[in-house]
Amino acid sequence: MSEPTPDLRYQLPDPTLRIGGKYRRAHEGATYESINPATEQRVSVIAAAGPADVDEAVSAARRQVDGGAWSRVSGAERGRILTRAADLIEADAQTLAALEAVEMGKLFHDSVEGDIPAAAAAFRHFAGWADKVTGTTALLPDFGPQRRFGYTIRQPLGVLGAILPWNNPVLIAAWKLAPALAAGCSAVVKPAEDAALSTLRLAELLAEAGLPDGVLNVVPGLGPVAGAALAAHPGIDKISFTGSYRVGRGIQSLAGDSFRKVTLELGGKAPQLVFDDADLELAMPWIAMGNFYHQGQVCAAGTRVLAHESVVDQVTEGLIEAARQATIGDPFLPMSTMGAIVNARQTEQILRYIEIGRGEGATLLAGGRRLDRPGYFIEPTVFRTTNDHTIAKEEIFGPVASVISFKTTDEAVQLANATKYGLNAMVYTSDLSRAVSVTERLRVGTVWVNGWGVPDPSLPWGGRAASGIGRELGRSGIEGDTEEKTVHIGL
Ligand code: ADP
C-alpha cells in the first residue's frame, strides 16, 4: 500500500448525457451518484436520462441513418474513422483504465493490458470490414420468355440500442459499436450505472476520430428508467444487451412484441472440465484465473470446476493455493491481483451465496469472507460441491469456485450440460481426439481448449439457452448489424 491512488479529477469526462455530439443535463434534472467501490467514496454525480432524453437521443441517431451525414459516408471512410478510433483508444489507455478502476474496482493494470487493447483490436478488426459488406449474386432460371438474375445487398440495420454491463465497459461497448459503426448504423448507448464515465470518454474519442455528431449518443441512467425506455423505443432497429438473465428476459419479450432484432448475452455458469491426462502445470493458472480474474465478475467465468476423480484433489489444492496467493486491494497498485467488488448490492449477494453454500453442506476450503476494511473486497473462495448445490447452479458473479468430481467422460459431459446456461466451457486434456469429441458434445457457444480468456473479435461470441440469443463479433457480428435485401431483375 505504498503508492497513492492517482488524482483523476482533471481526467473525468463530463458526467452528463451526450446527445447529437453535445453534452447536456437530463430534462428532469435527475442524477445519481457513482461510488468508488475500493474506497466507498463518491466519484461523480452523473446525469440520469429519462424517457424524453432517450427519445431525443434516438431521434439524433435516426437522423444520421435516415439520409443524414452518416448515411453518405463511404465504407472506406468509415473504416478510416474506426482505425483512428483504435489508435486513439490505445493512446488513451491509461485514462480509460483509470476510469474503469475508480468506477467499478477493476485492476488498473488489467484494463491497461487487457480490456483497452482488446477494445482497440475490435475497432481495428471491424474497420477492415467496413468496405467489405457485400451481398451475393445468382443467375436465376428464365421465367417464361424472361431472362432473370438476382442479387442481394446488405444495408445498415439502422439504429442500434446498446445496453451495457459494468464489468468490461469499454470492451463490451467496443464489441457492440465497432461492428455497428462499420456496417453504417448509428447508436444510442445506455452504460451501466456503475460504469458510465469510461463510456462517455470512449464517445469523446470516437468523435475525435471523425464520427459525425449524433452517430453515437450516450444516455447514462438507471436501468429501469433509461434502459427500459431505450429497450421499448420504437425508433430502435436492434437492441443489443449484455447483463443479467432477469433483465434480458424482459428485453427479449419487449423485442418480441415489436419484431425488433435482439442479441442478448446473459452470462453463465461455465464448466471447466479437467481430465486425468490434463497438463496441470499449464491448466492450473487458467482454471484459477477463470474463477478469480476481475473478482469473478466475468460472464465467461469458469466457476464449475469439473475434475476427474484422479486429479480432483490436486486441482482443489491448486485453487486453494491460488486463493492464498491473491493480493486483494487498491485496484491501482501494481502488486494487487484482485480489486474490489463493483458495489454494495453485489457484495451482499456474493456473501449471501457463500452462506447458502455453507448452509447446504458444501465444503468451504478457502476464503469466504469480506475483508475488514473500507471498500468492497471479498476473499477468493473455494468450495467442494456437487453439481446440485445452489452455488454450483446459479451465476454468483463473484470469486467463488465450486469443485466437482467426476468418474467418466460421459459423466463429465452430462454434468457440464446440466445447467440452464450455455455460454462457454473449458476443456483441459492432452488428448486431441478427446478435446474434439468432448467439445462437440458441449451445449455452449464457445469452447476454450487448454485455456481460458477473452473472445477474439475475429470469431463469434454468444450463448445458448439462458445465456442468450445471437452472436456478436466475427462475420456474424457484422452481418447481424445489416439487413439483407434480395433483388430480382427481369431482363
Ligand atoms: P447487473 O445485475 O449485473 O447490474 P443488470 O442486468 O441489472 O445486471 O444490468 C445490465 C444493464 O441493464 C445495465 O446497464 C442496467 O442499467 C440495465 N438495466 C437494468 N434494468 C433494466 C431494465 N428493466 N430495462 C433495461 N435495462 C435495464
- pLDDT tens for the chain, 491 residues long, are 444 455 565 577 888 999 999 999 999 899 999 999 999 999 999 999 999 999 999 999 999 999 999 999 999 999 999 999 999 999 999 999 999 999 999 999 999 999 999 999 999 999 999 999 999 999 999 999 999 999 999 999 999 999 999 999 999 999 999 999 999 999 999 999 999 999 999 999 999 999 999 999 999 999 999 999 999 999 999 999 999 999 999 999 888 788 889 999 999 999 999 999 999 999 999 999 999 999 999 999 999 999 999 999 999 999 999 999 999 999 999 999 999 999 999 999 999 999 999 999 999 999 999 999 999 999 999 999 999 999 999 999 999 999 999 999 999 999 999 999 999 999 999 999 999 999 999 999 999 999 998 789 999 999 999 999 999 999 999 999 999 999 999 99
Query: Which residues form the pocket of ligand 1, taking CB atoms under 6 Å from any ligand atom?
Result: 163-165, 190, 192-193, 223-224, 227-228, 231, 243-244, 247, 250
Ligand 1 pocket test, pick from 247, 263, 395, 397 with the greatest ligand atom count within 8 Å of Cβ, gives 247
Mutate to test the pocket of ligand 1, among 104, 163, 188 (most ligand atoms within 8 A of CB): 163
Query: How far is the C-alpha of 162 from the C-alpha of 177, rounded, in Å?
Result: 8
Alpha-carbon gap, residue 452 to 248, rounded angstroms: 25
Beta strand 304-308 with 363-366: parallel, antiparallel or unpaired?
unpaired
Nearest CA to ligand 1 atom 14: 192
Q: How far apart are CA 301 and CA 290, in angstroms?
A: 5
Per the CB < 8 A criterion, the answer to whether 167 and 153 are in contact is no
In the chain the domains, ranked by start, together with CATH numbers, are 17-267+466-490 (3.40.605.10), 271-443 (3.40.309.10)
CA of 121 to the centre of ligand 1 (A): 26
CA 166 to centroid of ligand 1, rounded, Å: 9
Nearest protein Cα to ligand 1, atom 21: 223
Catalytic positions are 265
**How far is ligand 1, taken at its centre, from the CA of residue 250, in Å?**
10
CA of 243 from ligand 1 middle (Å) equals 6
Which atom in ligand 1 lies closest to the alpha carbon of residue 193? Answer: 16
Question: 228: which 3 cell numbers?
Answer: 427500459
Compute φ and ψ for 443, nearest 5 degrees. Answer: -90, 75
CB 446 within 8 A of CB 461: yes
- Choose the residue to mutate in 240, 244, 348, 352 for probing ligand 1, maximizing ligand atoms within 8 Å of C-beta: 244
- Residue nearest (by alpha carbon) to ligand 1 atom 16: 223
pTM of the model: 0.96
Ligand 1: distance of its center to the CA of 254 in Å? 14
Instruction: Give the whole-angstrom CA distance, residue 239 versus residue 484.
Output: 18
